[in-house]
Chains A and B, each alone.
Chain A
């Protein structure tokens, strides 16, 4: 594809796509051009950062804000609600308000924190005056107008908060696959992924770059938003990457699973290396039950625990060297969650490099 400026005959390529701008005449590429160019270059999936708000079939309905008194189940609204929130007793049953001394347990972390945290996902805002801002949302927590708007703090959005339900959606991350999914909690005005409304209690997968819409609030899952681990088996160059959303996370770097089956990553490596006898030979040095790693968040650090059940293994990281004796042993090492860290485990000819990558801001 050529640049759309009639005075410029530049043939657009990767560099133009990367910059979003013609590298000859500064003409900016629009969403349509970007899409065509991506197809030409062969990057099939287009994750558009400039997003259209989907046409909604249903007119948005604003709900009045209410909260239920836990004692008499009365729905409190308006004046009663604000008094109740300030600690006044329920006007119906006179039971004391739980807000009396309570602190808001659903309060979520404010945007701008460097480390999204193991139980947080990062998003980029696609609408409103703060477009482009990134913020974090917690996993496994009911998210609705109260905690969501607290995080976003979008000027002028207060008047529209009624369009979001009190419990609107929930984010999930699979412990096994690391796949992010989203569940609509029966919201009044719906949750949309790329313009398609999601329904029901089964969470829909959410990929990087997918666009979420709640009424006219739009945001997308930020690419590589979470900390992740990259484990390289050096002799065979097998690489496993694992997101670290949901600490504690336990990984087994061996050939066999606990029930005697083959580890998925090991099986994939074998398939990958068919015909490459050197790599296959290197894989054979991996033990059946080789090495266990557990990652856990401890206060402001990540603790890495290592088990070995079979043989002598040495652990090396800058400033620390440790040799494990034969037989079961445990070693714990703390790392800073904001820093990239590389740890090396050596066992005979086997070398595993375990790299920790913090969230990229």
Chain B
């Protein structure tokens, strides 16, 4: 199993000693160079309630056929779970040679039973990390909610779950929250025609996965706390607050040639004057990195210590991405203004400003999230917009 490279840094590597400190930090995770993408397990979780009958079902069926016949590679697999008032496995794992039986629609909508079915199905899947898992949850209506804890445990099976809301009848709040909990993206499809596009987009995303939803272990010593832990570009809020001890958090997938970035706030009760003050140890698989800060009372050194513009940029991106998700336009503008200033020293900040501005101008929340999801940094840290 290839190992990713972890790098953690703070905005400044020195701090005023014998004092408390609050600052920002960032962890970047880069896959090994020329890392092969993993074979993809695509699990479709489809709403087949009454409202989907007719055009809805036929578009979904067409989209599935398109994936099966045109997009899937020989090593990929697909499975289908359907749900209305209850849920059932419609098609077991099958590769390109298989077929999917026709879908029929009718009945109510129960998200809870769908998620339970997903968990029991994935429980028997036995994924050892050698395959990428992507679940795609499609619904057109207001459903009876699933338990947050259940949705949150989907990444434990190496799967991220993306959600798609079809038609204006869908409840985006609910579907967005599910996507966030399961480390995926939310796609908005106002019409059935957009469904096909979303399927293709998720499949293309799945094809580029090099590392299936990994767990990040964070060990924090006494006197230190991390908060507002956010993964970019997804803008996923991983944890609000982590105190001393060892914690495990699920990340979203790692994409080929993309740097995963995790932004966080750091608070240290007291920075030591002698040597380094340990802040955290990050561990992913067998690789780990330490984050520490050096204390000094030399004023000149403190004030002139360079700010790590990458950390600053990652933090601004995270703020912008989360604000964008919440629809807090004022906060997005504030973050963008700061990022624009940063652009004078860090050209990547300019690229990000452009991409996020573009996202703010999109008409629907789903489109905004999709643009954000396509904002990627390659392994050298250069930001680009994925074009699919």
Q: If A21-B11, A30-B341, A224-B301 touch, does A129 touch B23 (CB 8 Å cutoff)?
A: no
Contacting residues, chain A, for B342 (C-beta < 8 A): 30, 50
Contacting residues, chain A, for B304 (C-beta < 8 A): 47, 49, 208-209, 223
A49 contact from B24, B307, B382, Cβ within 8 A: B307
Q: If A49-B305, A124-B306 touch, does A20 touch B11 (CB 8 Å cutoff)?
A: yes
Contact-residue size bin, chain B (C-beta under 8 Å from the other chain): 35 or more
Q: If A49-B307, A50-B306 touch, does A19 touch B22 (CB 8 Å cutoff)?
A: yes
- A87 within 8 A of partner (CB): no
Q: Is the CB of A19 within 8 A of B16?
A: yes
Minimal Cβ-Cβ distance residue in A for B346: A131
- B380 within 8 A of partner (CB): yes
Interface residues of A in 12-34 (CB under 8 A from B): 14-15, 17-24, 26, 28, 30-32
Give min CB distance, A152 to chain B, whole Å.
Answer: 16
Closest 3 A/B residue pairs (Cβ) = A49-B306, A18-B302, A26-B265
Contacting residues, chain A, for B21 (C-beta < 8 A): 19, 23
B303 contact from A5, A38, A50, Cβ within 8 A: A38
Contacting residues, chain A, for B22 (C-beta < 8 A): 19, 21-24, 26
Contacting residues, chain B, for A23 (C-beta < 8 A): 20-22
Q: Is the CB of A18 within 8 A of B341?
A: no
A-B CB contact pairs (8 Å), 20 listed: A15-B19, A17-B303, A18-B299, A18-B302, A18-B303, A19-B21, A19-B22, A20-B307, A21-B22, A22-B22, A24-B22, A26-B23, A26-B265, A28-B24, A30-B338, A43-B299, A47-B304, A53-B344, A129-B381, A131-B345
- Looking at B19, B24, B305, B307, the one whose CB has the most chain A CB atoms below 10 A away is B307
Q: Is the CB of A32 within 8 A of B345?
A: no
Q: If A18-B303, A43-B303 touch, does A51 touch B345 (CB 8 Å cutoff)?
A: yes
Rounded to whole angstroms, the CA-CA distance of A124 and B133 in the bound complex is: 44
Minimal Cβ-Cβ distance residue in B for A52: B344
A21 contact from B23, B310, B345, Cβ within 8 A: B23
Contacting residues, chain B, for A208 (C-beta < 8 A): 304
Chain A residue total in the interface (Cβ 8 A): 37
Q: Is the CB of B11 within 8 A of A50?
A: no
Q: Is the CB of B341 within 8 A of A32?
A: yes
Q: Is the CB of B380 within 8 A of A129?
A: yes
Contacting residues, chain B, for A38 (C-beta < 8 A): 303
Give min CB distance, B121 to chain A, whole Å.
Answer: 41
Give min CB distance, B224 to chain A, whole Å.
Answer: 14
Q: If A24-B22, A49-B307, A50-B307 touch, does A223 touch B15 (CB 8 Å cutoff)?
A: no
Q: Is the CB of B303 within 8 A of A19?
A: no
Rounded to whole angstroms, the CA-CA distance of A164 and B305 in the bound complex is: 28
Contacting residues, chain B, for A5 (C-beta < 8 A): 334
Contacting residues, chain B, for A21 (C-beta < 8 A): 11, 22-24
Contacting residues, chain A, for B308 (C-beta < 8 A): 132
Interface residues of B in 335-378 (CB under 8 A from A): 338, 341-342, 344-346
Rounded to whole angstroms, the CA-CA distance of A288 and B168 in the bound complex is: 93
Contact with A along B268-308 (1 / 0, CB 8 A): 00000000000000000000000000000001111111111
- Looking at A18, A31, A47, A50, the one whose CB has the most chain B CB atoms below 10 A away is A18
